[in-house]
Structure 1
Amino acid sequence: MTAHPPLAGFLKSRPGALKRGPIAIVLVEDDAAVTETLRHHVQVGFRHILALSPDPIPLPDDLAQRVTCLHWNTRRAHAHQEAVNAVLAAVPTGTWLYYCYNAEFLFFPFAETRSVGEMLAFHAEERREAMLTYVVDLYSPDLSRNPNAVSLTDAMLDRAGYFALGRKGPAGPLERQLDFHGGLRWRFEEHVPPASRRIDRIALFRAAPNLRIEADHRFNIPEYNTYSCPWHHNLTAAITSFRTAKALASNPGSRDAIGSFRWRNSEPFQWQAQQLMDLGLMEPGQWF
């Protein structure tokens, strides 16, 4: 069985795996596509992955050197917040970090031929410390065959129905900040709490002194929450995610009301970055 020490003890030991990024934090909430999630993020180029879960995760041999399994209660509310902040406090300033959940898969422009490290190096050259990612819902077209809504072989996504609203602060509109909506959280919004309807997440970011993530997936430093710099458009990425579909298919308040997630704007997901760029769900900015 894979070792499963607590996150706090691991961070306190100052392991060598944390000395250089990019580092991925994967919060494992259930058993859906866990190995596939970890392997995907190894393949796109993360130097090391911290897999956080309540129970030990059996790791295939090909992942054992790049993944550390750690105990963390990922099923409590806002489990990401304390975990991400703990890792932020433990890594060197400037380290690139990323976080997601199981059954979520990061895509970025030209991901098939370039690594996440190459992308982040370019992003840093543009004086950016964080990157906006859109959480794009994936779902099985057949809930009778896949009752948890997860299918890696015939996953579908929405090709339309995405929009952005200006984000307001205490003193008025916030500069270069928007609230993005769409996907299953929009189509089935009656089953989604208002605070959980956004699909934007700053999932890639550099550690900085006093940087903290909030419960709503935003950061305490406003510039980290912006979608681009003031002078031109920047890179964005996408996280394709079965997480919302899983929740809607299993929660008592929604599972009996939803017969299918498929609609007229569904299309098969090709597991290619180009498809997401063609749909406007991420952009290369000045990276060619």
Structure 2
Amino acid sequence: MQYPDLKTFLAKEKTALSKGPVAMIFVEDEVEVDTTIRHHLDSGFKQMLILIPPAFALPDDVVARVHRIDFDLVAGDDFTMAVNQVIAAAPGAWLYYCFNAEYLFFPFCETRSVGEMLAFHTEERRDAMLTYVIDLYAGDLYAHKNAVSLEDAHLDKSGYYALARNDPDNHNHPKERQLDFFGGLRWRYEEHIPTPRRNIDRIALFRAKPELKLSENHRFNDEEYNTYACPWHHNLTAAIVSFRTAKALKRNPGSTFDIETFKWHNSTPFEWHSRQLLDLGLMEPGQWF
């Protein structure tokens, strides 16, 4: 089904949001839209909201499996406002959001569904899950001008680090179980990245509840949602492998001519398998085996 805006969808299909987990995919351009949708359908999301400009086409094989909603980020539509509207309409549902050319991976995702993972996470009394946004980039930028290639995808195998997240409302003391994570292209090319956008942490999987709000920095107004683990042991984390930063750096006139290749001595081909991300420490299974 196609809807002229999110308000219309929520008015007509509110009951669909009760059949979670629900994925929201925000389409910024026409790069890898179809593969992004198919990847998340294969991951086990029960409902898919595709927020996409009206002029963009969707493949025939996915049209019947998703809710298409007219939405244009370039024209000024606000993704945080959209996420918050869905949160308000779906209390209790597990939600997820990403952008096109981003792909969710979680421990053992080749044999287990996102619903199974979230059921375990719920049993651990967790209502949100930290996801690291891991930058992908094409190895050959001459062959792939927009820095996107599924067949030639690379990532940084090291160079990731975390800093304490200080609380300005508590004399800048570190917040409990919260860290700011950095690395990837946003660390290596930080001179081209605004400071507020250098983090690679995103709470992309979370359970909706009344009064919950997402902000532009990918954090919530409930501080417990922003934590990486519960107080008593480590929890599951997931990863979103993303071409988004590479696309932006090659599209931006201020950076594209400074970058002949994203590859360096710590680059490695991406194998499109959760085991590689686990081995590199870019997500962890917690107590889930």
TM-score of the two chains, using structure 2 as the length reference: 0.96
Q: Deviations over 1:87-107 (max 9, x none)?
A: 11111x210000000000000
1:130 touches 1:202 (CA, 8 Å); kept in 2? yes
Which residue of 2 is the match for residue 85 of structure 1?
84
Q: Deviations over 1:181-213 (max 9, x none)?
A: 000000000000000000000000000110000
Structure 2: unaligned runs, 5 residues or longer: none
Classify the secondary structure of the residue corresponding to 1:180.
strand
Question: How far off is 1:5 after superposition?
Answer: 1.9
User: What's the Cα RMSD here?
Assistant: 1.3
Which residue of 2 is the match for residue 278 of structure 1?
279
Question: How far off is 1:154 after superposition?
Answer: 1.1
Structure 1 residue 175 corresponds to structure 2 residue 173: no
1:4 touches 1:56 (CA, 8 Å); kept in 2? no
Distance 1:234 1:116 in 2: 15
Classify the secondary structure of the residue corresponding to 2:165.
strand
The residue type equivalent to 1:276 in the other structure is: L
Trace 1:135-154 onto structure 2 (pairs within 5 A).
Answer: 135-154=133-152
Q: Deviations over 1:163-195 (max 9, x none)?
A: 000001121210000000000000000000000
Structure 1: unaligned runs, 5 residues or longer: none
Distance 2:75 2:187 in 1: 24
Distance 2:86 2:74 in 1: 18
Which residue of 2 is the match for residue 213 of structure 1?
214
Trace 1:262-277 onto structure 2 (pairs within 5 A).
Answer: 262-277=263-278
| Residue 112 (structure 2) aligned to one of 107, 111, 114 | 114
Question: How far off is 1:282 after superposition?
Answer: 0.2
Which residue of 2 is the match for residue 100 of structure 1?
98
Which residue of 2 is the match for residue 199 of structure 1?
200
Which residue of 2 is the match for residue 17 of structure 1?
16
2:278 touches 2:284 (CA, 8 Å); kept in 1? yes
Trace 1:45-84 onto structure 2 (pairs within 5 A).
Answer: 45-75=44-74, 79-84=78-83
Structure 1 residue 249 corresponds to structure 2 residue 262: no
Which residue of 1 is the match for residue 226 of structure 2?
225
1:56 touches 1:69 (CA, 8 Å); kept in 2? no
Worse overlay, 126-135 or 60-69: 60-69
Which residue of 1 is the match for residue 31 of structure 2?
32
Classify the secondary structure of the residue corresponding to 1:223.
helix
2:132 touches 2:283 (CA, 8 Å); kept in 1? yes
Worse overlay, 202-211 or 53-62: 53-62
Distance 1:117 1:255 in 2: 40
Distance 2:209 2:55 in 1: 31
Distance 1:183 1:76, change over 3 A: farther
Q: Deviating runs (4+, > 4 A) in structure 1?
A: none
Question: How far off is 1:4 after superposition?
Answer: 4.4
Distance 1:63 1:32 in 2: 16
TM-score of the two chains, using structure 1 as the length reference: 0.96
Distance 1:258 1:78 in 2: 30
Distance 1:148 1:4, change over 3 A: farther
Percent identity (aligned): 60
Question: How far off is 1:55 after superposition?
Answer: 2.3
Distance 1:55 1:257 in 2: 34
